[in-house]
Amino acid sequence: MKQTFSTALFVLALLLPWAANQAQQSQPSPPGQGPAPAQKEQEPAVKIGEQGTVRVNVNLVDVLFTVLNRRNKLVTDLTKDDFRVIDDGHPQQIRYFSRQTDLPLRIGVLMDTSNSIRDRLQFEKEAATEFLFNVIRRGKDQAFLMTFDDEPSVVQDYTDDPGKLRDQIYRQRAGGGTAVYDAIFAACAGQLSHPPRPEGDNPDVVRRVMILISDGEDNLSSHSRSQAIEMAQRASVVIYTISTSTQWVTTNEDEDPAKRADRKFHKTEGDKILADLAEETGGRAFFPYRVYDLDQSFQDIGDELRSQYSLAYNPTNYEANGKYHKVRIDVIRTKGVQVHARHGYYARTAAPKPTGN
C-alpha cells in the first residue's frame, strides 16, 4: 500500500510541471488569432482527476462587432472601458479587446437564380459585380460565387480576380424553386468554414462574410431558417443581404423611385427574412431600387469589414450543454450609437464520458 502511494506521488510530481507547461502554452491568444469560431475551448487551468488524469477546461467566447452612429458612420475610437457584455442576462468580464483593421476578407457571394427573381436577374448580376469590384483587393481578399435555385451550387471557387467572378455571374440563368436556407447552410458549413489562409505572421486572421442577393422567399429548403442562422453563427460568418424586391409603397406616388431607394415603406415577408438573417449575424440588410443606389452601401460594407472591434470573455454561467446563449454588447459611455454583432453563440456539447470495464 505504501509503495503504491509513493508511486502515485512520484507520478503526480512528474505530471504537474508538464501540465503547468501545457497550460501556459495553450493560453488563448487575443481574438482574431485563430479561425474565430463562435465559441471555442481553451486550457488555462489544470485539475488532477482520478487515475492521474490531467483535466483542463475553460471556454473563451469571441465576438466581432462594429459600432455606428446615427448617420450610419463607423465609430472607431472606443476602448475596452466603453463596452459591457451581457451573456444570458449575466454581466461578463472582458478578457481581451482589440480594434482590428485592414484584415483579409473571405467572401461568399450567394446569388438567387430561382424563377421568382427572373425579372430581377440582371439587377442581381450588376449588384454582385459592382460589389466585387468595389471590395475585392487582389493579393489580399478572396471570394467565391454560389448560385441557388432548387439546390446550391458553387460555380466559381475562391479567387482574388473579380473578372473571373464576373464572367461566371453573367453566365447564370433563372429557373426552378428557391432554397435560400440550404444555400446559406452549405456555404457556411463548406467554403466559409475552411477559407484559404493568407500568407504572413497570422495565417488564420480573416473575416468571413456572406453577400446574399435574393428576394428572401424560400420554398424548397430542407434546412430551416434557424438552422441556417445557427450554422452562420457557428462559423462566425457575417451576412449582408441585398433585396431584389421592388414592391414599394410611398406617400407620394409621383416621387422618383431612385430618390426613395433607402426608404422602403413596405417590406415583403422575404424582405423581413433578409433583415432577420443580417441582424442575427451582425450584418445589415439593404433594399435598393437600382444598382447605383448601392454604390455607397458597398463602400460602407468594405469599410465596416476592415474596421471592427473584437472582444473575448470566459462566460461565468457556462455549461457544456449545447444550448444557445444570447449575447448583448452595450456601449456605456457614448450615446447615440448602435452595435452590430451576432446575437449569440452555441455552447459546446459535453464529450461523452469514457466507459470502463
Cα separation, 150 vs 113, whole angstroms: 9
149-159 average pLDDT score: 97
Q: Name the CATH superfamily for 105-305.
A: von Willebrand factor, type A domain (3.40.50.410)
Which bin fits 349, alpha (ψ -120 to 50), beta or left (φ > 0)?
Answer: beta
**Block residue for cell numbers 468595389:** 134
Q: Is the pLDDT of residue 33 over 50?
A: no
254-258 average pLDDT score: 53
Average confidence score pLDDT of the chain: 81
Confidence of residue 312 (pLDDT cuts 50, 70, 90): very high
| Residue-range domain boundaries for the chain | 2-101+308-346, 105-305
142-162 average pLDDT score: 97
Residue 290 is predicted with a pLDDT of 81
Tens-digit pLDDT profile for residues 47-100:
444 444 444 445 889 898 999 999 888 999 999 999 999 999 999 999 999 988
Q: Is the pLDDT of residue 172 over 90?
A: yes
Q: Is the pLDDT of residue 159 over 80?
A: yes
